[in-house]
Amino acid sequence: MEVIKELPQVFADFAEQRKKSFLTVKELKDKGVPVVGAYCTYFPKEIAMAMGAATVGLCSTSDETIAEAERDLPKNLCPLIKSSYGFAKTDKCPYFYFSDVVVGETTCDGKKKMYELMQEFKDVYMMELPNSQSERGLAFWKEEIIAFKHYLEKKFNVTITDEDVRRAVREENAVRRSLKRFYSTMRHEPTPMTGHDMFKVLYGTTFKLDRSVIPAEIDALTDTIEKEYAAGKRQDKKPRILITGCPMGGATEKVIRAIEENGGVVVAYENCTGTKNVERLVDEEAEDIYQALAERYLAIGCSVMTPNPNRYESLDSLIDEYHVDGVVEMVLQACHTYSVESKSIRDFVTKKKNIPYIYIETDYSTTDVGQLSTRLAAFVEML
């Protein structure tokens, strides 16, 4: 079949978006626009957006600064935590450097203790995340969101109105709808693009500082993909893979490449850089917009939640909707929450959904690229 030729440059542009926005964030600072950085999808960005701030994800996807981080942090710690701290400490992350405040969250033990060290050289605001999605947890999380609003109002001497928050909710919901429509194109069999190209767009948009321009840009891309697919421009038929587990990006894209260079195609990402980040909307018409925000964000299915039913619900629907042939779970070394939950995920995938599963443990180095290729080649061939 004819492979898409018109779109590679678009995908490449999204892949470079993180670097492109380095200059943009400085320009915003020069104009006096507040910048709020965060590391986690539980961060309720609409509150910061409501006061006109730019929100940005911070650097944490390379082993470049891990040696420096290990001067303060233990070596047997999750590479995401060490990378985050290392980029912050060495000032090698422009987004961190220009952030007026970094929003931390009490997800895993390693991250929340790392934030304590980070507070020694950066203004870090900690949001205390409940560890369950109960009614009590929801009430507490709503209080935390409102407390964050009050913090921003005091720090930046602004007033954030309910209508400001609703405006930001509508803006970010539009982004989510467009991205969901974009990645839904992977339901086609065969697929219209590679899973890596899909990932470049999903990951790249997290570094688009002007959220208002994203929907039109993504909708135009999706329209082009659908038009070219209808004209017969598509990938060859391949085993369809879903990736779940820890956040991806940067160094860990080696897992995507290992799957696709060995004959598979990644059709869905059930992780923080995939559907988990955009699949749920905030109720724009809710009488209590802070309750609506709390419900949306607390419903994210992360392994830090006990129990964690929403992750299984998402996996269930994604496996069916995207006709998944096999599941790859990627877990970062020393990520205890995801590694412990992996047994339940394996049982769910193999016993309830009756499809193959493989567990991949890795870090931000390139030393295991050959081993990853060998294991994932055998997994894809089995499918």
pTM: predicted TM-score of the whole model, two decimal places: 0.95
- What type of residue is 362? T
Is there a domain that residue 294 lies in?
Answer: no
Question: pLDDT at position 6, please?
Answer: 64
Is there a domain that residue 360 lies in?
Answer: no
Which residue positions in the chain have pLDDT lower than 50?
Answer: 1-5
Domain housing 88: 17-162
> Which of 155-161's residues contact partners 24+ apart within 8 Å by CB, and which partners?
155/100, 155/101, 156/34, 156/51, 156/53, 156/100, 158/51, 158/52, 160/47, 160/50, 160/51, 161/50
pLDDT, tens digit (0-9, with 9 covering 90-100), for 220-263 = 999 999 999 999 999 999 999 999 999 999 999 999 999 999 99
- Give the total number of structural domains in the chain: 1
For residue 22, the domain's CATH number is: 3.40.50.11890
Is there a domain that residue 327 lies in?
Answer: no
Q: For residue 79, how many other CB atoms are within 10 A of its CB? A: 25
Is there a domain that residue 158 lies in?
Answer: yes
Is there a domain that residue 191 lies in?
Answer: no
Is there a domain that residue 148 lies in?
Answer: yes
Is there a domain that residue 347 lies in?
Answer: no
pLDDT, tens digit (0-9, with 9 covering 90-100), for 54-70 = 999 998 889 999 999 99
Is there a domain that residue 302 lies in?
Answer: no
